[in-house]
Amino acid sequence: MSFQAPKGTFDWMPPRSEWALIVRDALSAPARRAGYGYIETPAFEDTGLFARGVGESTDIVTKEMYTFQSKGGQSLTLRPEGTASVVRAVLEHGLYGGALPIKLWYSGSYFRYEKAQAGRYRHFSQVGAEALGAEDPALDAELIVLASDGYASLGLKNVRLLINSLGCKECRPAYRAALQDFLRGLDLDEATRQRIEINPLRILDDKRPEVQAQLVDAPLVTDHLCGACKAYHEEVRSLLTGAGLTYSDDPRLVRGLDYYTRTTFEFIHDGLGAQSAVGGGGRYDGLSEMIGGPALPSVGWALGVDRTVLAMEAEGLLTERPGQVEVFAVPLGEEARRRIFSLVAELRRDGIAVDMAFGGRGVKGAMKAADRSGARFALILGERDIEAGAVQVKDLTTGEQTAVPLAGVVDVLKGKLS
């Protein structure tokens, strides 16, 4: 019997896995520069956290969570998203009693039992950022700009930004009522009709063509915003424009989670087919209260590592091999192996990426390994080199080879690589 990765999951393998690391670093770098501190939460939480925070009517809670019972009888769930866990941690550790806003970023694995397809996996990776404890359009705009900067730093050209406002507790009820009246007149299946009474906005997020076709004339939330929400949204839009971002208004953008209020946004890449969203987020001013905490207006986003790699592939940005070694060491004989091992360790400590030939390979096999590694230079050490106190440095691009004193090889390689 041979084991395989579970359906809906996959293994990150080199060199593609190196791109995943690059994407994580690039997407989180703007947030780190903006004062966001790193937070890491458990991969599983009390099931009630997600049921109350994400929303009992959402597909995530009703269909997609990996839930199990611990040996102590507690219902636990593998985290399907990151925001609820971050808010729980902030409340548990009392961070809201200090300086506000609390700015945090995170990166990790998330789990949803979804229909497996390209770009939609049951185990996926995200980078997230949250700003908690302040109701300020500048925070919404800041996070959107940080995400946009992350995508741009990877060289992506075809990422589009969609934004919307979902209103607040003052104006949402009137829109909810208008939407419910409209939806009750449509030809919908029973499960969808039940959502009309629980959370009608979720129906706008239904991706089925037969449902979308009936929503063409649905009332728009932007037509029901109160004065405060209109002013807030206009300020977010103005700040984005001032920061040089191009965006499109999408009055039907509601996202898939119950906790969103006011600003919602999504980053789209048209080269990914049906699963075109590479990231998104919004404001969630009531989430803290939903899970038993004080009022803590907040905003955040989650950006998909997997889909961002796919977007880079769609734009032809994965042509180079990342993370490759710069120098490959080739020892000829046992004494050379011992000597070059120490030299390799020294080079690595000086910040040079070095690999070496293992397993007693001959010159031909070792040099083939050097070529496959993608290294720029090979270090070749034989008995005559040891006697001369030197090592051969071979440029694997030009084939030029020179003898360099062992005592000076680190400085020579640093100079060549710079």
Q: Where are the domains of the chain?
A: 16-171+225-314, 327-417
- pLDDT of 84 above 80: yes
Residue 223, number of CB atoms within 10 A of its CB: 9
Known binder of ligand: residue 112? yes
Q: What band does 77 get if pLDDT is binned at 50, 70 and 90?
A: very high
* Averaged pLDDT, 392-417: 92
Give the model's pLDDT for residue 203. Answer: 85
* Averaged pLDDT, 317-322: 83
- pLDDT of 55 above 80: no
Known binder of ligand: residue 260? yes
Q: What band does 57 get if pLDDT is binned at 50, 70 and 90?
A: low
DSSP assignment, residue 64?
Answer: I
The pLDDT tens digits of the residues spanning 228-239 come to: 999 999 999 999
User: Domain 327-417, what fold?
Assistant: Rossmann fold (3.40.50)
Residue 5, number of CB atoms within 10 A of its CB: 9
Percent of the chain beyond pLDDT 70?
98
User: Domain 16-171+225-314, what fold?
Assistant: BirA Bifunctional Protein; domain 2 (3.30.930)
Q: Are 331 and 337 in contact (CB under 8 A)?
A: yes
Q: What band does 1 get if pLDDT is binned at 50, 70 and 90?
A: low
Residue carrying structure tokens 């499109």: 248
Give the model's pLDDT for residue 280. Answer: 96
* Averaged pLDDT, 316-323: 82
The token pair that represents 139 in the structure block: 């925070």
Give the model's pLDDT for residue 310. Answer: 95
DSSP assignment, residue 290?
Answer: H
Cα radius of gyration (the chain): 27
Known binder of ligand: residue 349? no
* Averaged pLDDT, 175-181: 90
> Count H helices, E strands: the chain?
16, 16
Known binder of ligand: residue 130? yes
Known binder of ligand: residue 81? yes
Give the model's pLDDT for residue 115. Answer: 84
Residue carrying structure tokens 């040089």: 244
The token pair that represents 401 in the structure block: 């080879």
- pLDDT of 257 above 70: no
Q: Are 141 and 262 in contact (CB under 8 A)?
A: no
Residue carrying structure tokens 């611990």: 70
Q: Which of 358, 362, 345, 402 is nearest to 378 (CA)?
A: 402
The pLDDT tens digits of the residues spanning 117-157 come to: 877 899 999 999 999 999 999 999 999 999 999 999 999 99
Give the model's pLDDT for residue 232. Answer: 97
Q: Which of 285, 221, 226 is nearest to 258 (CA)?
A: 285
Q: What band does 256 get if pLDDT is binned at 50, 70 and 90?
A: low
Strand partners, 169: none
Lowest pLDDT segment from 53-67, 75-89, 338-352: 53-67
Q: What angle is formed at CA 104 by the lines to CA 293 and CA 139, rounded to 5 degrees?
A: 85
Q: What band does 311 get if pLDDT is binned at 50, 70 and 90?
A: very high
Known binder of ligand: residue 113? no
Q: Which of 140, 121, 154, 142 is nearest to 27 (CA)?
A: 154
Please give the mean pLDDT across all residues of the chain: 92
Q: At what angle do helices 227-242 and 137-153 cross, to 10 degrees?
A: 30
The pLDDT tens digits of the residues spanning 360-370 come to: 778 888 888 88
User: What contacts 24+ positions apart, CB below 8 Å, involve 186-191?
Assistant: 186/214, 186/215, 187/214, 188/214
Instruction: Pick 251 or 38 by higher pLDDT.
Output: 38
For 78, residues 6+ apart whose C-beta sits below 8 A from its C-beta are 43, 44, 65, 66, 67, 110, 111
Q: Are 83 and 287 in contact (CB under 8 A)?
A: yes
Q: What band does 205 get if pLDDT is binned at 50, 70 and 90?
A: confident
Q: Which of 303, 300, 320 is nearest to 311 (CA)?
A: 303
The number of residues making up the chain comes to 418
